[in-house]
Amino acid sequence: MYDLIVIGAGPGGYEAAAHAARMGKKVALVEKERLGGTCLNVGCIPAKTFLRSSKLFHECGEAAAFGVKLGSVEFDMPTMVERKNRVVGTLIRGVDGMLKRAGVEVITGQAMLVSRSAVQVGEQRYEASNILLATGSRPAVPPIPGIRSERVLDSNTVFGLTHVPKTIAIIGGGIIGLEFACFFNEVGTKVSVYEMLPQIAMGSDQEISNRMLQILKRKGIDFHLSAKVLGIEGESIQFQDADGSSASASAEYVLNSTGRSPVVQGIGLEEVGIDFTSKGIKTSEQGKTNVAGVWACGDVTGRRMLAHAATREGIVAVNNMFGKKDRIRYHAIPSVIYTHPEVASVGSTEEELKSAAIEYKKSVVPMAVAGRFLVENEGGTGMVKVLAGARYGEILGVHAIGDSSSEFIIAAAAMVETEMCVADASEIVFPHPTVSEALREAILGVH
């Protein structure tokens, strides 16, 4: 009898398991594949490793402007993949060691919920007072004829590529699609992005996503917005363009990045009566499902498909199951798009504030106000936007585009999380010279 069985060893599951074990609980973690889940194996970490290589390759092309002359530069895909595997391997071993130290029992196999307090793995049945579902998500497969053909990759299979394609068509201009668009573009692939919506990076602040579209187009990526892919046949893609006209294009590969679906099938949810839809398991702010003793966190809830959101959700659930009141505050969860340039944001977008009829003040400054940004980015561009409540000046949202906004967005997240007002935040000293000073300038610019 366990205090907790966690199903799924992604960043939601393994962190929650370790947290519970450190609280002195008897914990088992069931994983059918490798530890680390999507994030470590086929998500955040591999993608960022790829992007690091492509960025370096791209920067080599710009080295002369920095006064560094290089000979011929080649992109070596197998070495990059090897490095990716090494990085991932190191991190997985890290997770493994961490789980061992915490005292979590890891069970390998496909878990099936058989009651509110029992999990079946193969022939073995395990009992627990609490079960945390952290089964994650998988790439969604839209109903497009030809989508299942060999030449159509998704965010899992793309890491199996052994050479740089000449051309790639990316279906979906969301976070995953844009990051890969950036990667392929930098390593020399001709990239076209097909997005059904009139905007890329849907959910981002529109001013930021417009700026990103502008920058990525200038880098040579083709965008078809408000476009619908009708079918894929061999190397040909048929699509309906924004004006309604049908067209076709050819691409060596197609990347399906139309989104991710929570893994809710085949894990016994129906049998136990868990309330869920294809969009995820319904949970409270404490991580409770409708069935007492069964909890859920991460992508399987369909709430915020972000590794760090999953981690926090899992820890909140564990705290609540063992008597420590806790709740997740989604509004202060930052998110980053690791394109070049990076996009980082936290809190409400301007569009959200408008539609909620919240009165706000706004300040936008170019990233170039920070000296360090100019130092680091030759010809780079970017901006930081701060949205604050009209009445009290509380920081409601911060949206940035420009390298390396991902590293300082946490400061803004802490401000949003603690409802800091512009006047309070103005008292904080930012290190000089750092790119984060652009955030400071934007905060000071709110009147």
Can you give the binding site for other proteins, defined by CB under 8 A?
Answer: 325, 327, 329, 389, 392, 394, 417-421, 423-424
**Bond preceding residue 433 cis, omega within 30 of 0:** yes
Q: How far is the CB of 330 from other proteins (least distance, A)?
A: 12
Instruction: Select 213 or 395, whichever has its Cβ closest to other proteins.
Output: 395
3-state SS, the chain, equals CEEEEEECCCHHHHHHHHHHHHCCCCEEEEECCCCCHHHHHHCHHHHHHHHHHHHHHHHHHHHHHHCCCCCCCCCCHHHHHHHHHHHHHHHHHHHHHHHHHHCCEEEECCEEEEECCEEEECCEEEEEEEEEECCCEEECCCCCCCCCCCCEEECCHHHHCCCCCCEEEEECCCHHHHHHHHHHHHCCCEEEEECCCCCCCCCCCHHHHHHHHHHHHHCCCEEECCCEEEEEECCEEEEECCCCCEEEEECCEEEECCCEEECCCCCCHHHHCCCEECCEECCCCCCECCCCCEEECHHHHCCCCCHHHHHHHHHHHHHHHCCCCCCCCHHHCCEEECCCCCEEEEECCHHHHHHCCCCEEEEEEEHHHCHHHHHHCCCCCCEEEEEEECCCCEEEEEEEECCCHHHHHHHHHHHHHCCCEHHHHCCCCCCCCCCCHHHHHHHHCCC
Q: How far is the CB of 352 from other proteins (least distance, A)?
A: 16
Instruction: Select 217 or 327, whichever has its Cβ closest to other proteins.
Output: 327
Terminal C-alpha separation, the chain: 59
Q: How far is the CB of 357 from other proteins (least distance, A)?
A: 15
Q: How far is the CB of 395 from other proteins (least distance, A)?
A: 10
Point out the catalytic residue in the list 163, 399, 432, 447.
432
Q: How far is the CB of 325 from other proteins (least distance, A)?
A: 8
Q: How far is the CB of 283 from other proteins (least distance, A)?
A: 17
Q: How far is the CB of 389 from other proteins (least distance, A)?
A: 7
Residue 370 near residue 437 (C-beta atoms within 8 A):
yes
Instruction: Select 329 or 432, whichever has its Cβ closest to other proteins.
Output: 329
Q: What is the CB neighbour count within 10 angstroms for residue 273?
A: 11
Instruction: Select 113 or 416, whichever has its Cβ closest to other proteins.
Output: 416
Instruction: Select 168 or 415, whichever has its Cβ closest to other proteins.
Output: 415
Instruction: Select 89 or 392, whichever has its Cβ closest to other proteins.
Output: 392
Instruction: Select 219 or 331, whichever has its Cβ closest to other proteins.
Output: 331
Confirm whether 163 is a catalytic residue.
no
Catalytic residues: 432
